[in-house]
Amino acid sequence: MSSATTSTTGFDVRYRTIDLVTITTLGVAFGVIFWGWGKLYEPLSGLAVFSYPPSSALLGGVWLSAGVVGGLIVRKPGAAFATEFIAATVSVFIIGGTQWGFSVFASGFWQGLGAELIFLAFFASRLSFRRWGVVVAVLAGALAGALESFYEWSAYIPDYSMGAKLAHLGFFMLSGAVIAGVGGFALVKALARAGVLDAFPVGREQTVEV
């Protein structure tokens, strides 16, 4: 019989070394992506399609992806939050940092918390992790976008009207659902098919499906 620590749902909640290494590796990789996307953000947000300022939130989904991917792969409490926060931290300390400075820590916190709350809800619901699919990923991305938008209401866009803030919220949730949710789910499935996630449930599920 396994000596692994389990929750009241019966799922193993003990972190293995490979879980910690994977979270850290994903965090660093996404941190570099976050940093690069930050450099592209200003020129992209100035395009004509974003002439309505709140619509620039459509670009935010990239910054929500780490938590979704980390949660889908590791599937243990805290994984989504840790992956997102590590990614945000790495993006701050890369040479040159980001134009948002240390406020990125707050963004990493809220984005990671949003994704984490969805994964925790499904973890506590007694639903098998094998049922976790694109719907869970979409919900995680959307809530991460919602919490980040609420943070930005006071941090970055305090002068927006309430209508503009609500539009910003909608755009951020949409971006989170599509880019972080659908995109993150597709990335995890692609990695599983490539055989690099065989140590995780998602990799073993892929083997069963094939």
Structure tokens at 100: 């948002």
User: 3-class DSSP state for residue 6?
Assistant: strand
What was the pLDDT predicted at 210? 43
pLDDT of 169? 98
In this prediction, residue 135 carries a pLDDT of 93
Below-50 pLDDT ranges, the chain: 1-10, 129-130, 210
The phi, psi pair for 6, rounded to 5°, reads -125, 155
Ordered DSSP codes for 40-88: HHHHHHTSGGG-SGGGGGGGGGGGGHHHHHHHHHH-STTHHHHHHHHHH
Of the candidates 94, 77, 205, 75, the one whose C-alpha atom is nearest the C-alpha of residue 136 is 75
- Give me the residue label for tokens 């929500």: 64
Rounded (5°) CA angle 46-52-55: 80
Instruction: Determine the pLDDT at residue 6.
Output: 47
Helix, strand or coil, per DSSP, at residue 164: helix
Q: Model confidence over 14-62: pLDDT tens digits? A: 899 999 999 999 999 999 999 999 888 888 887 755 688 899 999 999 9
pTM: 0.88
Contact (CB, 8 A) for 65 and 138: no
**Ranges of each domain in the chain:** 17-202
pLDDT of residue 48: 56
State residue 71's pLDDT score. Answer: 95
